[in-house]
Structure 1
Amino acid sequence: MNLNDAIKLLKKKGYKTTGKRKDILNYFEEADGYRTAKDLIQHLESTHEGISFDTIYRNLHLYNEVGILETTELNGEKHFRMNCTSHHHHHFICKDCGKTKEIEVCPMDEVRKSLMNYAIEDHKFEIYGLCPKCQTA
């Protein structure tokens, strides 16, 4: 998903696209990997003096709810990134820097075989570790 797609989706769902909202979306479009609310607020403080965590969390929750951002939990904290909607895939996520690498393998074919009488509604598969750059740091 890109900035224009996100803005169109917000408008379609009946939400306004304020300057702050566009700046938040732009931040995630440019971010390489998952980022925290703290990362976002530090980025926005220079252009939006006095922006509150409440405003940040409210918008992050909204973007996640409408499908613009996806979330994961790293080290007990929620992390966000722009939703990847182009094709089905999963991620390796670096626990230090938050960067991601797509994983094309999906374990669901095997899982479905062992859960034949179950109605699977969704799934998420993530692998956590250190990227090559963080390993050498």
Structure 2
Amino acid sequence: MRVEEALSLLKEKGYKYTDKRQVILSFFNQENRYLTAKDLLKHMEPNFEGISFDTIYRNLHLFDQLEILESTELNGEKHFRMRCDHHHHHHFICKNCGITKEIHQCPMDDIEDELKGFMIDDHKFEIYGMCPNCQEQAPMY
């Protein structure tokens, strides 16, 4: 989703356009990885002195609820990224840096036969590990 589309959706749903929301959306739009509220706070603090975690979390959860952002749990902490809406896919997620790689094969193609008679209304499939760059930087044991 692009920033302009996200801001239009916010307006359509009755939420205000703010500079902070534009900065949040632009930040996520330029990153190809999952980020935490702490990452966002660190990015915003230089331009929005005194911005609180409450403001960050409130906006992240609003964007997640409106399906502007998608979220996942990594290392016991919620991470967010801009939602990909151009086609059905899944992700490999680096547990170290949060970068993602699209996986175009869907395991549901094989699983649906095992679930005959069950109504499936959604699914999520993620693979976790370390990207090549993080593997190179990891100390050898």
Match of 1:113 in 2: 113
Match of 1:16 in 2: 16
Structure 1: stretches of 5+ with no match in the other structure: none
Shift of 1:36: 0.2
User: Equivalents in 2 of 1:40, 1:90: separation in Å?
Assistant: 24
Q: Deviations over 1:101-134 (max 9, x none)?
A: 0000001121111011111110000000000000
Superposed CA RMSD in Å reads: 0.6
Q: Deviations over 1:45-100 (max 9, x none)?
A: 00000000000000000000001000011000000000000000000000000000
- 63-72 or 110-119, which moves further after superposition? 110-119
Match of 1:58 in 2: 58
In the TM superposition, 1:40-55 aligns within 5 A as: 40-55=40-55
Give TM-score, length-normalised by structure 1.
0.98
Runs ≥4 in structure 1, deviation > 2 angstroms? Answer: none
- 4-13 or 40-49, which moves further after superposition? 4-13
Match of 2:127 in 1: 127
- 23-32 or 90-99, which moves further after superposition? 23-32
User: Equivalents in 2 of 1:109, 1:26: separation in Å?
Assistant: 35
- Number of positions where the alignment pairs a residue of Structure 1 with one of Structure 2: 137
User: Equivalents in 2 of 1:131, 1:81: separation in Å?
Assistant: 17
Match of 1:25 in 2: 25
| Percent sequence identity over aligned pairs | 62
Give TM-score, length-normalised by structure 2.
0.96
User: What secondary structure sits across from 1:128 in the alignment?
Assistant: strand
Q: Deviations over 1:13-68 (max 9, x none)?
A: 11111011111111101112100000000000000000000000000000000010
User: What secondary structure sits across from 1:133 in the alignment?
Assistant: helix
Structure 2: stretches of 5+ with no match in the other structure: none
Letter in 2 for 1:6: A
